[in-house]
Amino acid sequence: MEDRKHIDPLNVARRTIALEAGAIEGLVALLTDDFTRICDSILAAKGRLIVSGIGKSAVIAQKIVATLNSTGTPAVYLHAAEAIHGDLGMILQHDVVMIISKSGESPEIKVLAQLVKNFGNPVIGMVGNTDSYLAKQSDFVLNTTVSQEACPNNLAPTSSTTAQMVMGDALAVALMELRGFKSEDFAKFHPGGALGKKLYLRVADLYIHNEQPKVTADTSLKEVIVEISKKRLGATAVVNETGELLGVITDGDLRRMLEKNISLNEAKAQQIMTLNPKTIEADALAIDAMELMRKNNISQLLVVQHKQYLGIIHLHDLIKEGLI
């Protein structure tokens, strides 16, 4: 065994990353028209994309399936060994089958490829050896050949599995764009957690749980202070008789008023309010409200719909939902 004192882990890491980065870069030159035909075949299929592999390639197959399902392409994972021991029933008449293998010569892979061909399903071979049995049995080939594994013995699947995963991502992204898959569609498959909330949670879902502080232009200073204090949102809207927004009065406006020569006994809301306050539509995304608050260094926004004042969304609402 080599003396560990002479091994620099940092250099090993750099070498590994460089080798795998080179393997990924090399994939560009390996792309052929088969990639386009594969996309067309998957899009035209009435069934699903079945993705199979064995060993480390099976792990990559699972990741690719997860990415495809979350981006609009129905996909199912099938372990190659389990397939030839009873799970072939998962493959239906209109499915397309993609088999992943570095060598393309594993016994289970060879049996599976032949069986799928007998079924009449289109076969995509993602393979690191274009002269292999799998490549020759496939209707379409995704070439993921690498010149060297990052493993110092050139044995453990490292660069090769990275290349497989990147090729799978390339396929998933191409299918996304061909389907016109948008952020709204993405949200349907990711409803949980902060990611999902950023894509579907709207201002209307949050402000309705808050008080609706409001005064009119001729409301006295005392009543303004009571309204702000009572509703506990740090501000109140100023509206006209039809409910249209005229302005806003915040805690800061009250402090600035004390610096001006205004009679506290005679002061009215219209003398204190800030005109043209920052507003947001009720149907806007909550994440847009967060960006507007951040941009203007404020902690609340007035919610409006067709100039009508509806309420207030506060920074605390966004924090509570985990968006910040």
pLDDT tens, residue by residue, 258-316: 877 777 778 899 988 999 999 999 999 998 999 999 999 999 999 999 889 999 999 99
CATH number, residue 39: 3.40.50.10490
pLDDT band at 85 (very low <50, low <70, confident <90, very high): confident
pLDDT band at 201 (very low <50, low <70, confident <90, very high): confident
Mean pLDDT within 98-124: 96
* Percent of the chain at pLDDT exceeding 70: 93
Number of separate domains in the chain = 2
pLDDT at position 4 over 90: no
Is residue 196 in a domain?
Answer: no
Is residue 199 in a domain?
Answer: no
pLDDT at position 173 over 90: yes
pLDDT, position 182: 77
Domain range for residue 107? Answer: 4-181
Same domain as 212, residue 140: no
Structure tokens at 86: 């009873």
Distance of alpha carbon 66 from the chain centroid: 13
Same domain as 245, residue 153: no
Q: Which helix (H) or strand (E) holds 52?
A: strand 49-53
Termini Cα distance of the chain: 50
Same domain as 224, residue 173: no
The radius of gyration computed from the CA coordinates of the chain, to the nearest angstrom, equals 31
103 φ/ψ angles, rounded to the nearest 5 degrees: -85, -30
Structure tokens at 70: 């979350």
SS3 44: helix
Is residue 286 in a domain?
Answer: yes
Is residue 197 in a domain?
Answer: no
pLDDT band at 322 (very low <50, low <70, confident <90, very high): confident
Q: In terms of DSSP bridges, do strands 245-250 and 96-101 run parallel, antiparallel, or are they unpaired?
A: unpaired
pLDDT at position 180 over 50: yes
pLDDT, position 6: 81
pLDDT at position 207 over 60: yes
Same domain as 46, residue 165: yes
Same domain as 155, residue 39: yes
CA distance 163 to 222: 69
Same domain as 92, residue 61: yes
pLDDT at position 47 over 90: yes
pLDDT band at 152 (very low <50, low <70, confident <90, very high): confident
Q: In terms of DSSP bridges, do strands 214-216 and 75-79 run parallel, antiparallel, or are they unpaired?
A: unpaired
Is residue 69 in a domain?
Answer: yes
Is residue 285 in a domain?
Answer: yes
- 114: burial class by Cβ within 10 Å (0-12, 13-18, 19+)? middle
Same domain as 243, residue 103: no
Q: In terms of DSSP bridges, do strands 245-250 and 235-239 run parallel, antiparallel, or are they unpaired?
A: antiparallel
Is residue 195 in a domain?
Answer: no
Same domain as 128, residue 23: yes
Annotated binding site for Zn(2+): 79
Annotated binding site: 79
Domain boundary, last residue among 147, 181, 215: 181
Range with the poorest average pLDDT among 17-21, 101-105, 185-189, 219-223: 185-189
Domain boundary, last residue among 126, 150, 181: 181
Helix segments in the chain, DSSP class H: 9-30, 33-44, 56-70, 80-83, 107-119, 133-137, 159-179, 183-189, 193-200, 204-207, 221-231, 251-258, 269-272, 286-296, 315-320
**pTM attached to this predicted model:** 0.66
Question: How many other C-beta atoms are found inside a 10 Å radius of the C-beta of residue 315?
Answer: 18
Is residue 190 in a domain?
Answer: no
* Contact in structure between 156 and 149 (CB atoms under 8 Å): yes
* Contact in structure between 243 and 302 (CB atoms under 8 Å): no
pLDDT band at 1 (very low <50, low <70, confident <90, very high): very low
CA distance 225 to 182: 46
Same domain as 173, residue 56: yes
- The mean pLDDT of the chain is 91
Cα–Cα distances (Å) from 73 to 44, 108, 181, 230, 300, in that order, read 12, 26, 10, 52, 40
Question: How many other C-beta atoms are found inside a 10 Å radius of the C-beta of residue 193?
Answer: 9
- Give 1 or 116, the one with higher predicted confidence: 116
Same domain as 288, residue 144: no
Q: Which helix (H) or strand (E) holds 308?
A: strand 308-314
Same domain as 176, residue 234: no
CATH number, residue 213: 3.10.580.10
Same domain as 100, residue 13: yes
